């Protein structure tokens, strides 16, 4: 009987060996190779992004970047920058011949940027903090009109939330305005690591041009261009 079927033993043994090799060798090997292939695909993308980043950084001029950032920081400073609010209002008053009778900062808090201050829903939507204040001024209709136009078109961005003007019989008006000014600290992380960097888009360039065309009405106070240079290691000398 055994002799009769011994011719089957070798091919069946070979086939069983093949199955064992497939289960314990080829399948795990194929899985590992596929995982390696996926890793390489990601790594290729990462290297491609890093190459683009090196090229982009190489094409940028540090002085230009600094002046562009200073320009934006003169519109929305990195801290509350109360002196620039005062100097802008002073500049607007001088340009429009309006008398500002009072200025009241509603909740000034810390003079500089408050650490870990919680943003309101509106602030989160705007991406910046708001510093509310109330401004009272006097002038004729044209002066008040010019002041409102100047306040909302100055380089140091100010927002008029609501206002009221009451006119005396003489035609002189007294206006009380609830306003906000913006400030936004620099991003916490200034190193993007392996993240992709995208060059400035046309829209972003247009915004920079728009901001540079806004009149800088601050008088006596230098525009806020205090932009700290990022350091990789905060403990490095």
Partner 1 sequence: MPVPGDINLVKTKTSLTPELVAFMGQLRLASFVGIGVVLVVGFLIGVSFLFLTNERNSLAETKKQLLVAIAADAKKEGLFISLKDRVPVVDRAIQNEKPWGQILDMVGNVILPPKLVSLAVDDHQVVSLSVKAGSVEEVAGWINSIIDLVAKKRVRSSQLVSLQLTKEGSMLVSFSFIPN
Subset of 6-45 contacting partner 1 (CB under 8 A): 7-8, 10-12, 14-15, 18, 21-22, 25-26, 29-30, 32-33, 36-37, 39-40, 43-44
Contact 89, 100 (CB under 8 A): yes
- Comparing CB distances to partner 1, the nearer of 72 and 82 is 72
- Tokens representing 1 are 């009987």
Task: Kindly state the DSSP code that residue 196 receives in the 8-state scheme.
Answer: -
Quick one: which of 133, 150, 59, 47 has its CA closest to 98?
150
User: What gap in Å lies between CA 15 and CA 20, rounded to an integer?
Assistant: 9
CA angle 37, 39, 40 (to 5 degrees): 65
- Comparing CB distances to partner 1, the nearer of 104 and 220 is 104
Q: In this chain, which of 82, 89, 131, 144 binds partner 1, going by CB under 8 A? A: 144
Span from 80-88, 98-106, 147-155, 217-225 in contact with partner 1 (CB under 8 A): 147-155
* Residue showing tokens 């990789």: 232
* R_g over Cα of the chain: 33
Contact 92, 217 (CB under 8 A): yes
Closest distance to partner 1 from the beta carbon of 219 (Å): 21
Closest distance to partner 1 from the beta carbon of 221 (Å): 19
Closest distance to partner 1 from the beta carbon of 33 (Å): 5
Q: Of 156-215, which residues contact partner 1 (CB under 8 A)?
A: 157, 159-167, 169-171, 173, 182, 184, 186-187, 189-192, 194, 197-198, 200, 204, 207-208, 210-211
Closest distance to partner 1 from the beta carbon of 215 (Å): 13
Residue 225 C-beta-side C-alpha neighbours within 13 Å: 12
Closest distance to partner 1 from the beta carbon of 54 (Å): 5
């Amino acid at each position: 009987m055994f002799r009769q079927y011994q011719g089957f033993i070798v091919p069946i043994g070979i086939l069983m060996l093949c199955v064992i090799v497939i289960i314990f060798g080829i399948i795990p090997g194929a899985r590992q190779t596929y995982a390696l292939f996926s890793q390489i695909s990601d790594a290729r993308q990462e290297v491609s992004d890093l190459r683009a980043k090196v090229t982009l950084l190489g094409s940028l001029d540090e002085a230009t970047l600094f002046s562009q950032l200073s320009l934006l920081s003169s519109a929305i400073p990195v801290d509350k920058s109360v002196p620039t609010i005062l100097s802008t209002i002073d500049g607007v008053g001088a340009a429009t011949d309006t008398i500002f009778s009072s200025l009241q900062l509603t909740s000034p808090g810390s003079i500089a940027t408050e650490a870990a201050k919680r943003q309101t829903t509106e602030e989160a939507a705007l991406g910046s903090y708001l510093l509310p204040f109330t401004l009272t001024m006097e002038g004729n209709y044209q002066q008040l009109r010019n002041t409102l136009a100047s306040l909302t078109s100055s380089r140091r961005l100010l927002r008029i939330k609501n206002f009221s003007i009451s006119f005396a019989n003489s035609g002189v008006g007294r206006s009380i305005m609830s306003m906000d000014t913006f400030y936004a600290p620099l991003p916490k992380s200034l190193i993007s690591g392996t993240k992709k960097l995208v060059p400035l888009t046309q829209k972003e360039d247009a915004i920079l041009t728009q901001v540079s065309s806004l009149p800088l009405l601050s008088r006596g106070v230098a525009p806020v261009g205090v932009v700290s240079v990022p350091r990789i290691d905060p403990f490095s000398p």
